[in-house]
A and B are shown apart, each in its own frame.
Chain A
Amino acid sequence: MSAKTINLTLKIWRQKNKSDEGRFQTIKANGISIEASFLEMLDIINEDLTKAGEEPVAFDHDCREGICGMCGAVVNGIPHGPQQATTLCQLHMRKFSDGETLVIEPFRAHGFPAIKDLVVDRSAFDRIIARGGFTSAKTGGAPDANALPIPKQKADLAMDAAACIGCGACVAACPNASAMLFVGAKVSQMALLPQGHPEKTTRVLNMVKQMDVEGFGNCSNHYECEAACPKAIKVENIARMNREYLLASIVHREESTNS
Chain B
Amino acid sequence: MNLNSNAPSGPIEKRWTEHKFKMKLVNPANRRKYKVIVVGTGLAGASVAASMAEMGYHIDSFCMQDSPRRAHSIAAQGGINANKNYPNDGDSTFRLFYDTVKGGDYRARESNVYRLAEVSGNIIDQCVAQGVPFAREYSGYLDNRSFGGSQLSRTFYARGQTGQQLLLGAYGALMKEVGKGNVTLHPRCEMLDLVTMDGQAKGITVRNLINGKIESYAADVVILATGGYGNVYYLSTNAMNSNVTAAWRCHKKGALFANPCYTQIHPTCIPVHGSYQSKLTLMSESLRNDGRVWVPKGKNDTRHPNQIPDAERNYYLETKYPSFGNLVPRDVASRNAKTVCDEGFGVGSTKLAVYLDFKDAINRLGEKTIKEKYGNLFEMYDRIADSSPYKEPMMIYPAIHYTMGGLWVDYNLESTIKGLFVLGEANFSDHGANRLGASALMQGLADGYFVAPYTVSNFLAENKAKAISTDHPLFEDSVREVTSKTNKLLACKGKKTVDEFHKELGLVMWDKCGMSRTDAGLKEALAKIPAIRDEFHANVNVSGSAEDFNQTLERAGRVSDFLEFGELLAYDALHRTESCGGHFREESQTSDGEAQRKDEDFSFVSAWGFEGVGNKPSLSKEPLVFEYCKPSQRSYK
Cβ of B121: which chain A residues have Cβ within 8 Å of it? 145
Q: Indicate whether B137 reaches chain A with its CB closer than 8 angstroms.
A: yes
A86 in contact with B383 given A39-B278, A155-B136 (CB within 8 Å): yes
The one of B65, B127, B239, B273 that contacts A64, using a Cβ cutoff of 8 Å: B239
With known contacts A50-B552, A137-B130, A196-B131, A150–B278 Cβ distance under 8 A: no
Q: Measured between alpha carbons, how far is A149 from B86 in the docked complex, in Å?
A: 13
Q: How far is the CB of A90 from chain B (nearest CB, A)?
A: 5
Q: Are A68 and B75 in contact (CB under 8 A)?
A: yes
Write the A1-15 contact mask toward B (1 if CB under 8 angstroms, else 0).
100000000000000
Complex interface bits, A125-149 against B, C-beta within 8 A gives 1, otherwise 0:
1100111111111111011111011
Write the B168-197 contact mask toward A (1 if CB under 8 angstroms, else 0). Answer: 100111011011000001010000000000
Among B133, B239, B453, the most chain A Cβ lie within 10 Å of the Cβ of B133
A137 close to B499 (CB less than 8 A): no
B131–A193 contact, CB under 8 A?
A: yes
- With contacts defined as CB atoms under 8 Å apart, how many contacts are there between chain A and chain B in the complex? 223
**A162 CB contacts on chain B under 8 angstroms:** 133, 158, 165, 168
- Does B240 contact A61, Cβ atoms closer than 8 Å? yes
Complex Cα–Cα for A152 and B551 (A): 44
Q: Are B380 and A146 in contact (CB under 8 A)?
A: no
The distance from the CB of A118 to the nearest CB of chain B, in whole angstroms, is 11
Name the segment of A52-60, A214-222, A234-242, A243-251 touching the other chain: A52-60
Q: A139 to B127: give the CA distance in the assembly, Å.
A: 9
Instruction: Tell me the B526-574 residues at the A interface (CB within 8 Å).
Output: 541, 543-544, 548-549, 551-552
User: Mask for B108-138, Cβ within 8 A of A = 1, else 0?
Assistant: 0000000000000110111111110111111
Known contacts A62-B241, A145-B124; A131/B541 CB under 8 A: no
Contacts of A61 in B (CB 8 A): 240
Q: Is the CB of B239 within 8 A of A47?
A: no
Known contacts A51-B541, A135-B130: does B47 contact A142 (CB below 8 Å)? no
**B71-87 interface mask toward A, CB cutoff 8 Å, 1 = contact, 0 = none?**
01011000000001010
Q: Do the beta carbons of B131 and A189 come within 8 Å of each other?
A: yes
**A102 an interface residue at 8 Å Cβ cutoff?**
no
In the complex, the chain A residue whose C-beta lies closest to that of B84 is: A145
Contacts of B241 in A (CB 8 A): 62
Which residues in A have their C-beta under 8 angstroms from that of B386?
1, 92, 94
A142 touches B129 (CB 8 A): yes
CA distance A85 to B68 in the complex (A): 24
- A108 on the interface (CB 8 Å rule)? no
Of chain B, the residue at the smallest CB distance from A119 is B549
Q: For the complex, what is the distance from the CA of A58 to the CA of B72, rounded to whole Å?
A: 20
Tell me whether B276 is interfacial, beta carbon within 8 Å.
yes
The one of A47, A63, A90, A92 that contacts B497, using a Cβ cutoff of 8 Å: A47
Contacts of A40 in B (CB 8 A): 276-278
**Interface residue B54 (Cβ < 8 Å from any Cβ of A):** yes
Q: Are B210 and A115 in contact (CB under 8 A)?
A: yes
Residue B5, interface by CB 8 Å:
no
| CB–CB B67/A1 < 8 A | no
CB neighbours (8 Å) of A92 from chain B are: 383-384, 386
Q: Complex: how many Å from CA A152 to CA B122?
A: 22
Q: Does B635 contact A (CB under 8 A)?
A: no
Which residues of A have CB within 8 Å of B239?
A: 62-64, 68
Shortest Cβ gap from B72 to chain A (Å):
6
Question: Is there contact, CB below 8 Å, between A69 and B136?
Answer: no
Residues of A within 8 A of B72 (CB): 62-63, 68
Inter-subunit contact A163/B161 (CB<8 Å): yes
Q: Is the CB of B75 within 8 A of A134?
A: no
Q: How far is the CB of A28 from the nearest CB of chain B, in Å?
A: 16
B552, A68: Cβ atoms closer than 8 Å: no
Q: 1/0 per residue B229-262: CB within 8 Å of A?
A: 0000000000111000000000000000000000
